């Protein structure tokens, strides 16, 4: 198998091998990231979660704790991520009756030399997987959707915020 070398990528060394970026020369700065995802449950599982009748227990609380734990494990899961000291992690899960989903938002922060985008995205992905795990006895037709970065602050490149979509599920064409 041929691997194309990308000389401009900081994750590829001079021989074309993947490597962890050396951040030792970077300045420490406060860095934050917010990520999100949605878990489409379907009516039956949604109603069970909403009424806290899932056999395994309180889905939203367990998934929140799992997401926080997931953020702290990011460098163990993603091979080229740095092991960084997180100063803050939060995961918020909100039930959306309109589409029978759980909306998940995760936030991570640090003061350091590298960003926390992967920690925020890992938090929401692990929380979403936990929702699936806890609800799978009720239905297997669950979809974890749209794991994505919503915004970041800090570092040399500064801030970034996702642009609002011109089309959304709520768009009525008006």
CA distance 93 to 131: 10
Residues of the chain with pLDDT under 50: 1-7, 166-174
| Domains of the chain, CATH where assigned | 29-154 (3.30.70.640)
What is the structure's pLDDT at 11? Answer: 64
DSSP 14: T
What is the structure's pLDDT at 94? Answer: 98
- Kindly compute the dihedral angle of the four CA atoms of residues 45, 48, 54, 59, in this order, to the nearest 10 degrees: 80
Half-sphere exposure of 54 (CA within 13 A, CB side): 26
DSSP 159: -
Q: Of all helices (H) and strands (E), which one includes residue 129?
A: helix 117-135
CA distance 113 to 88: 16
Report the alpha-carbon angle 72-75-79, nearest 5: 155
What is the structure's pLDDT at 173? Answer: 42
What is the structure's pLDDT at 174? Answer: 39
133 catalytic, yes or no?
Answer: yes
What is the structure's pLDDT at 166? Answer: 45
Mention every residue, 6+ apart, whose C-beta is less than 8 A from residue 138. Answer: 44, 45, 48, 54
What is the structure's pLDDT at 15? Answer: 73
Question: What is the three-class DSSP state of 118?
Answer: helix
Mention every residue, 6+ apart, whose C-beta is less than 8 A from residue 154. Answer: 29, 30, 31, 32, 115
String of DSSP letters for 24-74: TTSPPEEEEEEEEEEEE--HHHHHHHHTT--TT--HHHHHHHHHHHHHHTH
Which one is catalytic: 58, 133, 169, 172? Answer: 133
């Amino acid at each position: 198998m041929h691997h194309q070398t990308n000389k401009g990528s900081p994750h590829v060394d001079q021989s074309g091998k993947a490597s962890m970026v050396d951040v030792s020369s970077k300045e420490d700065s406060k860095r934050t990231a917010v990520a999100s995802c949605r878990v489409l449950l379907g009516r039956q599982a949604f109603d069970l979660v909403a009424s806290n009748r899932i056999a395994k227990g309180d889905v939203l609380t367990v998934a929140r704790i799992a997401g926080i734990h997931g953020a702290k494990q990011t460098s163990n899961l993603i091979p080229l991520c740095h092991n960084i000291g997180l100063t803050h992690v939060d995961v918020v899960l909100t039930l959306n009756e309109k589409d029978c989903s759980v909306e998940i938002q995760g936030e991570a922060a640090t003061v350091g030399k590298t960003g926390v985008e992967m920690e925020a995205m890992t938090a929401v992905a692990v929380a979403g997987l936990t929702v699936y795990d806890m609800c799978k006895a009720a239905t297997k037709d669950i979809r974890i959707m749209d794991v994505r970065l919503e915004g970041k602050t800090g570092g040399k490149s500064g801030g970034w915020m996702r642009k609002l979509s011109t089309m959304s599920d709520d768009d009525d064409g008006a």
